[in-house]
Structures are given as C-alpha cells and as structure tokens.
Structure 1
Amino acid sequence: MLSNKGIESKLDEYRGMDHGAWDVLYLMYPKSDIPVVQVSINPELAMEKQYEIGRAIRDLGKEDILVIGSGSTVHNLATVDWNADKAEEWAVEFDNWLIEKVENNDIDGLFTYREKAPHAKHAIPREEHIVPMFIAMGSGSNAKPKLLHQSYAYGTLSYICFEF
C-alpha cells in the first residue's frame, strides 16, 4: 500500500510490539482478540511527510481498519515530577495551542509547531512522540477533528486523544 504511493517501507518480522502500541491496545481490547499491524515511524522525516504517510493509508478506514497513532503531546521525561497533582502551565499552554490548531484543521500551522507553538522544544524534545498524531491526522476523514480526552500525569506527561 505505501509503496504504491511512493513511500518506502519494509517488513521487519523480528521486531516486537512497541509499548506505544500495546499499552493503548490493552486498554481498548484487553482480550487481545484483534489482529494488529504495527507500523514504525521515522522521526527524521518532516511533519508534512508524516501527514502524507497518513494520507497514503487513508483508505484503510473504508475497510473497517482502525488507525491509531499513540504518543504524548507533551513528553519531556527530564521534567517529570512524580508527586505533581496538576499539570505545569507551560505544558498546558503547548497543548492548548495544539488543540486549537487541530480542531480548526490548521494543518499548515501544525507543520510549523516547532517554530510557532509555545514551549514546543521543551514540550517535545524528541519528535517521535508527536509524529503518530500527524500520521493519524493524515489518515482521518474529512470530518472536523474532535478532542476526545485530555489529561496529565506527573505534571508534564500529556495524554490527548483526538478523533480524525
């Protein structure tokens, strides 16, 4: 499917399921009774390319196949406070910017989040935690994206769930 759209990919029969996939799936399907194909990401690619990958797999939805992109929109383990009972203000500011862009389908704005979002480099020091959102967003329908969930753990780990 990806190669038909000019996107290089290869099968790795030996790689196990990443925690970014199995922890979400376990919560949704605790009996593990669904088939799963995990797709790894390349965090070196531009966000536009990540979105394009999502567009390449968009037709999976027509086949009743669920595309899940997991990660944390704020994921800076150096700032975790194991005793925090509320989110850090900078983390919330970043997420609020992100939510506003997603809900308004401002894809071009999202592509430049590194330069334009408040606290972006602090919120996401390594991009592999936000890349799945761009792929999931690209794979989504033309419907307006919806925020389904927002919470924080340890002050600076953000859990946001969108439906695309």
Structure 2
Amino acid sequence: MMPTFFLGHGSPMIAIEESPYVEFLQRLVSSLERRPKAVVLFSAHWEAVTQQISRLERYSTIYDFGGFPDALYQIKYEAPGDIALADEIADLLQQAGISSIHNPTRGLDHGAWVPLRHLFPEADIPVVAMSVNSRLTGDGHYLIGKALAALRAQDVLIIGSGGTVHNFSTMKFGGGPTDEWAVTFDEWVTRQIQDWNYESLANARTEHPYGAYAAPTPEHYIPLLYAMGAADETRKGTRIYDGYQLGNLSLNCWKFD
C-alpha cells in the first residue's frame, strides 16, 4: 500500500530557497515504489469545525502570509482536483459516522502548495485538500485518518502538513542554535510513534512537559494524527527527516508504512 506522510512545512520561504530540506522533499517521491495517482492533504492552515473536503476541478493559489519577498507571491500552483475522489472521501467518512461537507471554491494554502511544489513540481497530480479541526479532542483526528485508510490501496498518498514544534513567540528570526527543548519534544514524538502510542500523541500538549510550549495552538501539530490514523492497519512509523528552522520551528517528517 501507499505510505502516508507527516511533513513539517516550515516557513513559506521553503518554496523558493535552496536547503537540505528542500532537497529532501524533491527526492521524496522518487523513493516511493509507485507514483501516486492522487494526493489527499490535511493542511494546518485550513481550520474548520466540520470536516471540509475540497471538491473542484482546479485550484487557485492562496498567499496566506505577509511580509515575504515578492517572488513568493508570483508562484502559482494550480494543481487539478479530483471530484470522484472527493466524493469517495465523503462516503468513507459517512460510513465511519463522521460528518463532512464539500468546499467547491477554496484554493491551496501555503501549508499545501509549498511542499507540493517540491514533491510534484509540474502540478500534475490531482489533489484533494482537507481541513483540520483544532477543537477535536482525544483521538478524533486519528479516527478521521483511519476512515480514509482504504485509499492507500488505490495508490492515493495521504499527507498531513504542519509542524510538531510551531511557536512564533520562541522562534529566532535573527538566527541562533536549535533549542534543546524542541529536540527533546520531537524525540519523544518519535518514540511514541515507534510504540504506536497514539493516545499519548493525541494528548501531547498535556502529556509532555514541553507539549504546550511546542504547540501553544494545536493546528500545526494535529496533521500528524490524521496521517498516523490512515496507517492504523499497518502501524509502522519512521522518522525520515530531522531538522529545524529559526531555532525551533520543526521540519521533522515521519513516514507511515
């Protein structure tokens, strides 16, 4: 089956910079046994109380950030959508007792198009974008991912895009060494993934001493749980990238086989 990924999407500057992380993203798809037929992506930058599913023929590009170089605002990532897959996702969620609605207009935010333009630079893979719900508690996010697990057998690549450590108040915009507390938290996340302790991960903000510090708001952390839930049947997770920006902004990535 197709694996699932959690990707730390980092700063929007990743879209135009050259770095080891960009090189990692550019190589990631080539490491797969087969090219995906489609991508389902949960973005930290699309929050909704009711699960939303994009349903449109082609995406516009959303520039949901400010104060960056003009070159970022010139990028267009107009990937195709997948109407049939969006409908199938709604059916799978309904079968799992999960409410959802289609969104026929929303473009791709930078949590989606920044990593996607390195994974699929030709924007030739159909995408279905999914919202996240930071108000869900416990394993609610995991169960949504689990409901979509059957898509993996159809060569659909499921991605959660966010960041396990994402705290604007602690980022070092002037540069500086990586904070040990951020590394400590991501090491703990990795151990929980290896042990498939998703209940602790679902409650990381209270379970770990640095949890609330790493994720003062949960929207960037929780895409991990959607990606993990989609791999519930196989339950094998591996960290595939370890790195940081701005002192503690996590670029750590995990693959779930």
* Pairwise TM-score range, normalised by the shorter structure: over 0.9
Counterpart for residue 147 of structure 1: 239
Equivalent residue in structure 2 for 1:109, among 178, 200, 212: 200
- Structure exhibiting the larger radius of gyration computed from Cα positions: 2
Structure 1 residue ranges (4+ consecutive) displaced by more than 4 angstroms after TM superposition = none
SS at match of 2:161: coil
Deviates more, 1:90-99 or 1:111-120: 111-120
Q: How far does residue 143 in structure 1 lie from its aligned partner after superposition?
A: 4.4
Structure 1: 5+ residue stretches without partners? none
Residue 189 of structure 2 aligns to which amino acid in structure 1? L
SS at match of 2:252: strand
Taking a change above 3 Å as real, the CA distance of residues 47 and 84 of structure 1, as seen in their structure-2 partners, is farther
Cα distance in structure 1, aligned partners of 2:161 and 2:223: 6
The structure where strand makes up a greater share of residues is: 2
Equivalent residue in structure 2 for 1:34, among 125, 135, 147: 125
Q: TM-score, normalised by structure 2?
A: 0.62
Q: TM-score, normalised by structure 1?
A: 0.95
Cα distance in structure 1, aligned partners of 2:97 and 2:235: 26
Structure 2: 5+ residue stretches without partners? 1-91
Residue 182 of structure 2 aligns to which amino acid in structure 1? A
What is the aligned residue count? 164
Cα distance in structure 2, aligned partners of 1:123 and 1:59: 32
The structure where helix makes up a greater share of residues is: 1
* Contact 2:196–2:235 (Cα < 8 Å) also in 1: no
CA RMSD after TM alignment: 1.2
Deviates more, 1:38-47 or 1:82-91: 82-91
Q: How far does residue 111 in structure 1 lie from its aligned partner after superposition?
A: 2.4
Cα distance in structure 1, aligned partners of 2:224 and 2:140: 12
Q: How far does residue 108 in structure 1 lie from its aligned partner after superposition?
A: 2.3
Q: Does 1:161 align with 2:222?
A: no
